[in-house]
Chain A
């Protein structure tokens, strides 16, 4: 069970309230595919991923990025029960999607960079630490049902 202090919860919800899920999700997924190109292996049916410009402009990347980050929003709403919240998604990623959990960590790190660029000085060291903890526990929860 992860423990969240009142300060951490506050930092999480206040940052999340200012996030444009569609834009941020699209950007995070695009950057994942650009910075770690081997992650494109899961998206053969996404069409043109041949260049950073193509990836950023790809409507399937945008749509999927929004979907992924919307799902991440469930974590923010259920900080005390992340494993339960992501149980079905964890099974899906293992059994159907066959995604190495390392990819959840990579996406988490990318999300941090996107938030940093967006919030700049407001993304204080404490804020970064809290969010890095959050992406870590979400990645852990998503990997939890792997077998």
Chain B
């Protein structure tokens, strides 16, 4: 799976639209993921997962920052997220299936806040991008 020129520009366009709301989107993505896929909570036994929790906000900010970083370095996501890739492989070891679940929730959040931005073409590009990020983060698992 390769990101075409138009995929890259579609993704950059989405993140330009999201702008400063990325952190909120990150938190909302996590909240929706925990509500929709309760098994994902198993990775956060140490967190307060109630609505509006400071820990969800904090973690959402980190997740969003990583996605923004990947979008800003879309020609070489692997290098941009190399440290995070090591972290997921060695320490976090989140099962690969969960990246798709996070991706689905991020798409939902974008759809809710920017329905007109998420045309079918942009939807396709963003879905591919999120897959690519997931692939990078799990690339060193074995």
Contact = CB atoms under 8 A, between A and B. Distances in A.
User: Helix, strand, loop or mixed for chain B's interface?
Assistant: helix
Nearest to A55: B120
Given A117-B111, A121-B112, A129 B120 contact: no
Contact of B115 (A34, A112, A118, A125): A118
Given A34-B123, A113-B104, 8 more contacts: A31-B120, A31-B123, A56-B120, A113-B108, A113-B118, A120-B115, A128-B32, A128-B36
Nearest to A125: B35
A120 B107 CA distance: 12
Interface in B21-61: 31-32, 35-37
A65 to B, nearest CB: 12
Contacts of B107: 113, 116
30 contacts: A30-B120, A31-B120, A31-B123, A34-B120, A34-B123, A35-B123, A52-B119, A55-B120, A109-B104, A112-B108, A113-B108, A113-B111, A113-B118, A113-B123, A116-B108, A116-B111, A116-B115, A117-B112, A117-B115, A118-B115, A120-B111, A120-B113, A123-B108, A123-B112, A125-B32, A125-B35, A125-B36, A128-B105, A128-B108, A129-B36
Interface residues of B, number: 20
Contact of A117 (B105, B118, B121): B118
B127 interface: yes
A121 B113 CA distance: 8
Interface residues of A, number: 23
Interface in A13-28: none
Contacts of B127: 35
Nearest to A121: B112
B87 interface: no
A56 B124 CA distance: 14
A56 B118 CA distance: 14
